[in-house]
């Protein structure tokens, strides 16, 4: 089954339609530009005109964060003689300092809550699966970049995609998360409440011409880069190999999402309802292309498997890995036997055999081994959207979900056929972009920028620093001398000056210029404190010496106050990650056909293994209709910041051991529990210490058992029985 994916290569018969310009040597006098391309280019121009003012500020914010030394004029004429802005030779970068003080390396952890009690085991699997995905994906690097981009620009985006080209021996496709800089946004004008409320949205992706060739099979070597500025914050020029690819997402009338991609005037991709599942069908007869090894029988020409080949890799690139394909072919042989006339009822009894023509034996079932359509011989296949998945072989998951396979029936012509169980394909039907704001501002798509609110203070600090430097350099000692050529300044001591006129002696003087910086330094400190107060950052929050905190508790309270001022930014970050977790779950529910491994630690610190199987979320209502259960609440675990502070957790665990929270501190069982917790918290050497204690516990139990056995045996001989016991009777 062809899944929605990031890298999609064009199949035969589609390239000429989508790359009309690159394949037309008479471009200019040839066919007109595709109508949909003109619509999307018009949307892009409309967005650039409305959002361009915000984009123009972004490069300036990045320069200020990086320590720009340009002085903004305060009054007319406050420039150089050439009219250029003045520059300072010394920058105290308070913007960088205050933004770096807010950076947090902690990544929010998922918390999934079931709406119904019977779904609690599924909620636990989702939560563990998402934690595994956080470890697999490069969230550390993305979070580090986002932690700086969000306060600088006011927001950042996260693009969720399903890459069907990432395959293993057991799985096909993986989630891909990409951070999108606000400069790459081209939103619908006039909509500020969020991306989910827009009708369309465009993303500008800087890439290379070779990458476009690999993904879409379209040659764009003759094209030039349209927007080089989206690659970085510096004013870089265009390069020969770089290109700007535009990807547009739009809501359609059916409630789905359309995706359109282009480069300059070249259409690369046009997918309506792109999040739906597609499969290859014959361009002539419209029948679905079979799987390699699938049974082809004249009585059931439309029989399908529950997994179909990838239309862009052909039959040799089936979505089924080789070892799984063999299992499906073996299962298909059983179906073939049933189709050959040995149909079985539900109790294993044979039904009436299909009579053959007089003198004719039942034909052996044929299998599809690739190539043209087995029914009409057409060699061209196209993608076709499918609403339902057809299950031929019964499915049973480890959690007990059972889905029946094909059952005997009749086709539209009254011939015996195996009818598959139909289940609907799940579709997320949501824009794949999550926006993380700094703080919400009415009438703005992005949040408030910290650079904008303390920009004036940074300019003032730069001016004061330059004035202080100038005054210090000009300060020093000055000597006044009469206008005589024979009097000069000499570094040697004891130099002789012969003065004949007493008036000349009165002209000789020494003046010291100390350069008083009292008021400049006072104002510099006031401006710096003003910038920090605007952002709500205190000395304790920065880890600096805080004279107002007279104790450790007071210092902790001061830091907590600053954290409270910044709590809004953390809340917006958690909200963005919660929405991202929900989207990741829905994409896996839609496209992860194969079970995905889930690893976690239980309460005793032991490693456990589970499976995330999308069929576990398939339910059936009272009418027998299948539907997907996605009714879960997604949020962020509030204990994640504490869990990331391992040293604090180590200290807390030691205190629990000492206070007897785990039991008797001298007991080996208690020590094993303690070191299991320390191993779970990744304490160095905890695993070896735990193994040693487990061996000691085994020896202690063995010794105790031997002592008990000896005590029981000695007790049987030492204790005399009743009178006359053991004596012969009679």
- E strand or H helix at 325: helix 322-339
Closest CA to 672 of 729, 584, 605, 609: 605
Q: Is this prediction's pTM over 0.85?
A: no
- E strand or H helix at 159: strand 155-167
Report if residue 407 sits inside a domain.
Answer: yes
Report if residue 699 sits inside a domain.
Answer: yes
Question: Which residue, 403, 424, 445, sits at the end of a domain?
Answer: 424
Question: Which residue, 407, 424, 441, sits at the end of a domain?
Answer: 424
Higher pLDDT, 252 or 384: 252
Question: Which residue, 381, 396, 424, sits at the end of a domain?
Answer: 424
User: What SS3 state is found at 225?
Assistant: coil
> Mean per-residue pLDDT for 149-153?
94
- The DSSP annotation for 68-105 comes to --BPPPSSTT-S-TTSPPPB-S----HHHHHHHHH---
Domain tally for the chain? 2
Least confident of 133-137, 241-245, 248-252, 514-518: 514-518
Question: What distance in Å separates the CA atoms of residue 141 and residue 177, rounded to the nearest whole number?
Answer: 11
Is the pLDDT at 403 greater than 70, yes or no? yes
Contact 383, 2 (CB under 8 A): yes
Report if residue 187 sits inside a domain.
Answer: no
pLDDT of residue 586: 96
Report if residue 250 sits inside a domain.
Answer: no
- E strand or H helix at 607: strand 607-612
pLDDT of residue 659: 85
pLDDT of residue 509: 79
The residue range of the domain holding 351 is: 278-355+363-424
Least confident of 197-211, 300-314, 357-371, 625-639: 300-314
> Mean per-residue pLDDT for 292-321?
41
Question: What distance in Å separates the CA atoms of residue 395 and residue 454, rounded to the nearest whole number?
Answer: 61
Question: What distance in Å separates the CA atoms of residue 478 and residue 489, rounded to the nearest whole number?
Answer: 11
> Mean per-residue pLDDT for 628-641?
84
pLDDT of residue 328: 45
State the chain's maximal CA–CA distance in angstroms.
160
Taking only the tens place, the pLDDT of each residue in 677-707 is 888 777 888 888 888 888 888 888 888 888 8
- DSSP tag of 2: B
Higher pLDDT, 8 or 671: 671
Could you give the percent of the chain with pLDDT greater than 70? Answer: 75
- DSSP tag of 344: B
pLDDT bracket for residue 333 (50, 70, 90)? very low
User: What is the chain's mean pLDDT, rounded?
Assistant: 78
Higher pLDDT, 18 or 668: 668
Question: What distance in Å separates the CA atoms of residue 685 and residue 670, rounded to the nearest whole number?
Answer: 18
Higher pLDDT, 304 or 360: 360
726: left (phi over 0), alpha (psi -120 to 50) or beta: left
pLDDT bracket for residue 31 (50, 70, 90)? low
Question: What distance in Å separates the CA atoms of residue 32 and residue 310, rounded to the nearest whole number?
Answer: 32
> Mean per-residue pLDDT for 312-333?
40
Is the pLDDT at 261 greater than 90, yes or no? yes
Report if residue 525 sits inside a domain.
Answer: no
pLDDT of residue 554: 54
Contact 148, 99 (CB under 8 A): yes
pLDDT of residue 304: 39
Least confident of 142-156, 198-212, 482-496: 482-496
Least confident of 276-285, 454-463, 616-625: 276-285
Report if residue 567 sits inside a domain.
Answer: no
- DSSP tag of 214: H
pLDDT of residue 43: 95
Report if residue 324 sits inside a domain.
Answer: yes
Q: Which of 10-14, 42-46, 396-400, 466-470 has the highest mean pLDDT?
A: 42-46
Report if residue 489 sits inside a domain.
Answer: no
pLDDT of residue 323: 46
pLDDT of residue 317: 32
E strands within 215-349? 242-251, 257-263, 266-271, 277-282, 295-296
Contact 331, 324 (CB under 8 A): no
Least confident of 53-67, 330-344, 494-508: 330-344
Angstrom CA distances, 596 to 123, 337, 436, stand at 15, 32, 28
Contact 293, 367 (CB under 8 A): yes
Question: What distance in Å separates the CA atoms of residue 10 and residue 16, rounded to the nearest whole number?
Answer: 10
Higher pLDDT, 43 or 556: 43
pLDDT of residue 671: 87
């Amino acid at each position: 089954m062809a899944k929605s994916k990031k890298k999609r290569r064009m199949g035969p018969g589609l390239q000429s339609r989508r790359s009309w310009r690159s394949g037309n040597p008479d471009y200019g006098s040839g066919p007109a530009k595709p109508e949909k391309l003109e619509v999307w280019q018009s949307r892009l121009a409309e967005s650039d005109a409305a959002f361009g003012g915000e984009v123009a500020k972004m490069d300036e914010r990045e320069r200020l964060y990086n320590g720009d030394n340009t002085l903004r004029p305060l009054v007319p004429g406050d420039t150089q003689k050439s009219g250029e802005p003045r520059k300072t030779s010394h920058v105290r970068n308070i913007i960088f300092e205050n933004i770096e003080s807010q950076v947090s390396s902690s990544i929010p952890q998922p918390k999934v809550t079931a709406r119904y009690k019977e779904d609690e085991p599924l909620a636990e699997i989702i939560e563990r699966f998402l934690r595994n995905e956080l470890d697999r994906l490069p969230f550390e690097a993305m979070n580090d970049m986002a932690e700086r981009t969000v306060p600088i620009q006011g927001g950042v985006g996260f693009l969720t995609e399903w890459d069907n080209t990432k395959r293993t021996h057991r799985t096909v496709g993986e989630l891909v998360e990409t951070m999108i800089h606000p400069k790459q946004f081209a939103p619908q004008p006039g909509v500020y409440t969020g991306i989910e409320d827009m009708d369309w949205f465009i993303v500008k992706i800087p890439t290379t011409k070779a990458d476009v060739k690999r993904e879409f099979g379209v040659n764009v070597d003759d094209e030039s880069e349209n927007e080089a500025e989206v690659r970085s914050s510096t004013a870089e020029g265009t390069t020969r190999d770089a290109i700007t690819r535009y990807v547009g997402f739009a809501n359609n009338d059916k409630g789905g999402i359309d995706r359109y991609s282009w480069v300059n005037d070249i259409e690369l991709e046009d997918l309506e309802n792109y999040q739906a599942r597609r499969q290859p069908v014959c361009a002539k007869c419209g029948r679905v292309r079979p799987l390699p090894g699938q049974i082809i029988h004249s009585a059931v020409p439309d029989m399908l498997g529950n997994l179909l080949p990838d239309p862009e890799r052909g039959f040799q690139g089936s979505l089924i890995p080789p070892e799984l394909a063999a299992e499906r072919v073996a299962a298909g042989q059983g179906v073939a036997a049933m189709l050959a006339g040995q149909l079985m009822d539900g109790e294993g009894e044979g039904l009436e055999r299909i009579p053959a023509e007089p003198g004719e034996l039942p034909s052996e079932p044929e299998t599809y081994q690739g190539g043209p359509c087995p029914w009409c011989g057409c060699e061209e296949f196209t993608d076709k959207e499918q609403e339902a998945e057809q299950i031929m072989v019964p499915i049973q998951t480890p959690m007990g979900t059972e889905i029946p396979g094909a059952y005997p029936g009749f086709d539209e012509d009254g011939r015996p056929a195996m009818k598959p169980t139909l289940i609907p394909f799940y579709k997320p039907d949501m824009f794949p972009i999550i926006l993380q704001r700094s703080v919400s501002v009415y009438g703005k798509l992005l949040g408030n920028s910290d650079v904008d609110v303390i920009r004036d203070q940074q300019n003032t600090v730069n001016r004061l620093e330059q004035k202080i430097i100038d005054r210090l350099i000009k300060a020093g000692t000055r000597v006044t001398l009469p206008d005589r050529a024979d009097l000069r300044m000499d570094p040697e001591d004891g130099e002789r000056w012969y003065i004949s006129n007493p008036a000349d002696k009165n002209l000789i003087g020494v003046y010291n210029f100390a350069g008083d910086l009292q008021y400049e330094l006072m104002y510099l400190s006031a401006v710096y404190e003003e910038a920090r107060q605007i952002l709500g950052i205190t000395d304790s929050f920065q880890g600096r010496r805080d004279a107002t905190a007279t104790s450790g508790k007071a210092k902790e309270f001061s830091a907590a106050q600053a954290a409270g001022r910044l709590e809004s930014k953390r809340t917006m970050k958690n909200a963005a990650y919660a929405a991202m977790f929900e989207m990741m779950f829905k994409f896996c529910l839609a496209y992860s056909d194969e079970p995905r491994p889930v690893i976690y630690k239980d309460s005793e610190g032991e490693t456990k293994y589970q499976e995330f199987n999308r069929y576990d979320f398939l339910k059936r209502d009272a009418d027998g209709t299948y539907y997907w259960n996605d009714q879960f609440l997604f949020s962020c675990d509030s204990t994640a910041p504490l869990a990331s502070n391992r040293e604090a957790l180590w200290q807390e665990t030691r205190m629990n051991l000492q206070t007897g929270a785990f039991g008797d501190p001298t007991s080996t069982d208690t020590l094993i529990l303690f070191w299991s917790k320390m191993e779970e918290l990744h304490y160095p050497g905890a695993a070896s210490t735990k193994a040693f204690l487990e061996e000691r516990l085994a020896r202690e139990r063995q010794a105790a058992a031997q002592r008990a056995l000896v005590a029981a045996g000695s007790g049987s001989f030492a204790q005399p029985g009743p009178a006359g016991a053991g004596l012969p009777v009679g």
